Amino acid sequence: AAALPVVINTWAFKKAADTAWGVLQLGGSELDAVEKGCGQCEIDQCDGSVGYGGSPDESGETTLDAMIMNGNTMEVGAVADLRHVKNAISVARKVMEYTKHTLLVGESASLFAVRMGFPYEDLTTQKSLSVYSEWLNQSCQPNYWKNVIPDSSKSCGPYKRPEKVTYKEEQISRRSFHNHD
């Protein structure tokens, strides 16, 4: 156990590691260390892959996912597709500490966060907007669609399933069938 305590985190996110280690040195708990360490990256927008202003989705919005797990009790708190709230892992910890649930998602998770005292803010930045508009100008490439029309490897959507005509289209063709002398 002489090798304890230990903090290990993905990528060379030094400030996050410093923050977590500092929490332990000041007598903070392991949960505090993970929350503050990961939270540091949410503030620093590490690599553009953590926190607000990064990874805009197909509508240009940034949403956040986070979790925290207590290995003593096996309790978990998690949020996914969290909108308009920056402190994702802190909200995840509130899910663990103030609900009997494990995972809250989407706008409902945001409403829970506001009730827990977190500010409701816009997660978009100039950077994420420019990343988004550049993507639109490049025929929405790359994207995550397949087997749709129009060809998602060549153009933007909206996309739809190719083999089945939609209900509305069927109605139109049936009506015109009767629409004759």
Partner 1 sequence: TIGMIVIGGSGTVVSGTSTNGAVHKIPGRVGDSPIAGAGSYADSTAGGAAATGDGDIMMRFLPSYQAVEYMRMGTDPRVACQKVISRIQKYAPKFFGAVICANTTGSYGAACNKIPGFTQFHFMVSSPFLSHPTEQVVDCI
Q: Which of positions 31-60 make contact with partner 1 (CB under 8 A)?
A: 31, 33-35, 37-39, 41-42, 46, 48-52, 54-59
* 107 versus 169: smaller Cβ distance to partner 1: 107
Angle between helices 88-98 and 106-115 (to 10 degrees): 80
- Piece of the chain touching partner 1 by CB under 8 A; list 98-106, 111-119, 160-168, 169-177: 98-106
Q: Which of positions 115-174 make contact with partner 1 (CB under 8 A)?
A: 131, 135, 140, 142-145
Is there a contact between 86 and 51 (Cβ–Cβ < 8 Å)?
A: yes
User: Phi/psi at 114 (nearest 5 deg)?
Assistant: -60, -40
Provide, rounded to whole angstroms, the least separation between the CB of residue 165 and partner 1: 23
Give the binding-site size for partner 1 (rule: CB under 8 A): 75
85 binds partner 1 (CB under 8 A): no
14 binds partner 1 (CB under 8 A): yes
Is there a contact between 102 and 76 (Cβ–Cβ < 8 Å)?
A: yes
Provide, rounded to whole angstroms, the least separation between the CB of residue 5 and partner 1: 5
CA distances from 7 to 16, 36, 60 (A): 10, 12, 34
Is there a contact between 95 and 104 (Cβ–Cβ < 8 Å)?
A: yes
102 binds partner 1 (CB under 8 A): yes
CA dihedral (152, 155, 161, 162) positive or negative: negative
113 binds partner 1 (CB under 8 A): no
Provide, rounded to whole angstroms, the least separation between the CB of residue 114 and partner 1: 19
Provide, rounded to whole angstroms, the least separation between the CB of residue 149 and partner 1: 16
Q: Which of 96, 99, 88, 12 is nearest to 51 (CA)?
A: 88
